Chains A and B, each alone.
Chain A
């Protein structure tokens, strides 16, 4: 099956968005929702473009993005290395498995107050929370991918003269890439969500904080703007990750 072209992908991705905006506009126009509670899309987007050129709003976006990227990056580095290590070494596996089983179902957001106490109200606590939440899907996907590498691939590489220690980098890591990238995608979505929520709970800056501030003053339009922004950011980042994925996995057959 030929991979979809870029334009086809774009249309496929944009359609639901257009539909929702249409639905939104419909709700407002038909009077189902009072303007004070649900401002029309035009007003919200207008406000969004207005804000985008202001320095303060750009700073909010920057703050959110810094935490998002830092947290995600840490989760990827940690998750992939521990995942592969656990797949490669039974000893590490025996230690990591039970820890993950205990920590995974724990709502990491419950740790947030402790993080605030230990790391303050700025970037540190949020980055740590994002890492903690994004870590597990990435770790588990990596582990799954690394432990289900086709045995004959490893044998072929060994027969060709690859030393044992090199097998991890030359065979296991590339072969596990599809799983790893799937986990990263989930981790990215989680990172976007968590950073926003953390900023909503307590923060001095960031998009989530902007929403909460607007809520306190009952400014509906100013509440929607950060929400739309983070959603758009999420979509853009997801698309970028998708492009990276397509490139890295160009040799792999479609799942």
Chain B
């Protein structure tokens, strides 16, 4: 029972610390936790804000979805075919350290401001970890399993889908989890850079207009989004790979 309650207690604890700190500091730019929480329904009730937030989620979903659909097959084939790996590896290795959201202005220059730009950046941000993990997962599939499959008469493509994919699934899903985290971060960041619509936009609009309560309330909303998405994904992931051993790769959080 305590294990489940602990994160909730942590939330409450953190909010309490916030409350006390803001009361102690008594600054206009640091509203109390309660004041921020009270503003949340206002934001969610406001039609325009809601549209913004939903737009953000939509972009994130599309970017994430397409990235996953493209990256998993790419990663898997890279894992099993040395030729494919050699072709794509150098390109990916260089793109990796570049902050995708930083490419925003450049992409904006090419494609203008708008949904496509933001979705593209999210797509790029998510693709990399998913490709990498699919690649690693596919590489690690035991040769003998594939030989058994070949002996049973499966074609290379079917082997990829029916053996490599399920075997590499735990690793792939770890990559997706990282991708999800990055999708959220990239989304917010790109909206903060190219302000036009979205949650990041609301944050900075409120900042510019001095609506400090809204700023903090929005932070709570975005935080909640992150936590919920992660929790939901974790659930799905645990379900799908119940049979696998616990993974520890990219330190995302305590499992």
Name A's B-contacting residues (CB within 8 A): 15-17, 19-20, 23, 37, 94, 97-107, 109-114, 116-118, 136-137, 140-141, 144, 183, 186, 189, 192-193, 196-197, 200-201, 208, 211-212, 215, 218, 220, 223-224, 227, 230-231, 234-235, 238
> What would 12 A/B residue contacts be, using CB atoms closer than 8 Å?
A15-B90, A101-B10, A105-B252, A109-B188, A110-B226, A111-B219, A113-B203, A118-B29, A136-B253, A140-B254, A144-B251, A200-B101
* CB-nearest residue of chain A to B224: A106
Give the Cβ gap from B250 to chain A, nearest Cβ, in Å: 7
Q: Is A102 a contact of B227 with CB atoms below 8 Å?
A: yes
Q: Is A105 a contact of B230 with CB atoms below 8 Å?
A: yes
List B contacts of A116 (CB < 8 A): 207
Residue-wise, chain B 218-232 has the 8 Å CB interface mask toward A (1 for contact) of 110011001101110
With A102-B14, A193-B99 as given contacts, are A110 and B90 in contact (CB-CB < 8 Å)?
A: no
Name B's A-contacting residues (CB within 8 A): 6-7, 9-11, 13-14, 27, 29-30, 89-91, 93-94, 97-99, 101-106, 108-110, 181, 184-185, 188-189, 192-193, 203-204, 206-207, 212, 215-216, 218-219, 222-223, 226-227, 229-231, 248, 250-254
* A105 contact from B104, B203, B229, Cβ within 8 A: B229
Give the Cβ gap from B248 to chain A, nearest Cβ, in Å: 6
Q: Is A23 a contact of B91 with CB atoms below 8 Å?
A: yes
* B223 contact from A110, A136, A230, Cβ within 8 A: A110
With A102-B11, A196-B99, A208-B102 as given contacts, are A107 and B222 in contact (CB-CB < 8 Å)?
A: yes
Counting from the closest, the 8 A-B pairs by CB-CB distance are A140-B251, A98-B10, A105-B230, A98-B6, A215-B105, A117-B29, A104-B253, A16-B90
List B contacts of A196 (CB < 8 A): 99, 102
Give the Cβ gap from B3 to chain A, nearest Cβ, in Å: 9
Give the Cβ gap from A101 to chain B, nearest Cβ, in Å: 5
**In the complex, A144→B108 CA distance in Å?**
41
With A37-B110, A99-B13 as given contacts, are A227 and B98 in contact (CB-CB < 8 Å)?
A: yes
List A contacts of B14 (CB < 8 A): 99, 102-103
Give the Cβ gap from B18 to chain A, nearest Cβ, in Å: 10
* A136 contact from B108, B188, B204, B251, Cβ within 8 A: B251
* A223 contact from B11, B106, B212, Cβ within 8 A: B106
Q: Is B102 a contact of A102 with CB atoms below 8 Å?
A: no
With A109-B188, A111-B219, A215-B109 as given contacts, are A101 and B254 in contact (CB-CB < 8 Å)?
A: yes
Give the Cβ gap from A243 to chain B, nearest Cβ, in Å: 17
List B contacts of A234 (CB < 8 A): 97
